[in-house]
Amino acid sequence: MVIIKRATPTIIGKEHKFPSIDQALDEPNGLLAIGGDLSKERLLLAYRRGIFPWYCANEPILWWSPDPRLIIRPAKIKISKSLKKLWKQKKYKITIDQAFKQVIKKCQTPRQSQKDTWITQDMLNAYTDLHNEGYAHSVEIWESNNLVGGLYGVALGRAFFGESMFSEKPNTSKLALVALARQLAMWHFELIDCQVSSDHLRSMGGIEISRQKFASLLARSVEYRSPPIKWTIDENFV
């Protein structure tokens, strides 16, 4: 079968429908559709198909499915010697789902090299609603009572879709990722979706796979039963 790609992304309306991910553009890589909303139904449908929203304020919602896709197998996460040393020091307290809104607001703060953020107020509201319904989760890194690192994302079945992370102290976002991976491995999760490639994620075990392979892996992973609505660290977690 010959797949004829569109020259422009599909415009979507009120219906919770997306075009085939095979129709995503090569440039910019993975842009699939424009429009729609951030309703729970649309977001969950998107994640189940390997599609995610990413856009800036004053832009229409842009939906993406890049090729290749970077994933981490939770049981195969790589921990450097320095990070392993920091982990064993137990300098920071690690929690899960204890401060979701604080985490996403910290992620919303523009980095030093950025003028603005892609986590708009609408995005913050939508993912907070997903958290309240048990689909979005956070990992928090604490120094005393100060939140100094963390991440958040969406979980469906045995797939976790990482959205954003932040660090206010060296390596605290990496500690959050290690904590997430170790907990997900205990729950037999198959993948952490990192969306697009980066050097530090590859150094922690990230591997690139094709969009087609990702979709096949995802189709199986999301059919499993998800863990409880509010997550807690397993008592055997180390």
What average pLDDT does the segment 208-231 reach?
93
Choose among 74, 66, 61: nearest CA to 196: 66
What average pLDDT does the segment 171-184 reach?
96
In total, the chain counts a number of residues equal to: 238
pLDDT reported for residue 115: 64
* DSSP conformational letter for 225: P
Give domain 70-221's CATH number out of 3.40.630.70, 3.30.450.40, 2.40.50.100, 3.20.20.70. Answer: 3.40.630.70
DSSP string, 149-190: EEEEEEEETTEEEEEEEEESSTTHHHHHHHHHHHHHHHTT--
How many angstroms separate the Cα of 177 from the Cα of each of 70, 95, 121, 155?
14, 12, 25, 14
What does the pLDDT look like over 43-100, one tens digit per residue? 999 999 999 999 988 899 999 999 999 999 999 999 999 999 999 999 999 999 999 9
Model confidence pTM above 0.85: yes
In the chain, where the domains are located: 10-68, 70-221
Least confident of 39-43, 75-79, 124-128, 197-201: 197-201
State the fold for domain 10-68.
Alpha-Beta Plaits (3.30.70)
Say if 10-68 and 70-221 have the same CATH topology. no
What does the pLDDT look like over 70-84, one tens digit per residue? 999 999 999 999 999
Cis peptide before 66 (omega within 30 of 0): no
Choose among 161, 122, 151: nearest CA to 44: 161
What average pLDDT does the segment 197-207 reach?
93
The Cα 191–Cα 71 span in angstroms is 6
Split at pLDDT 50, 70, 90, the class of 2 is: very low
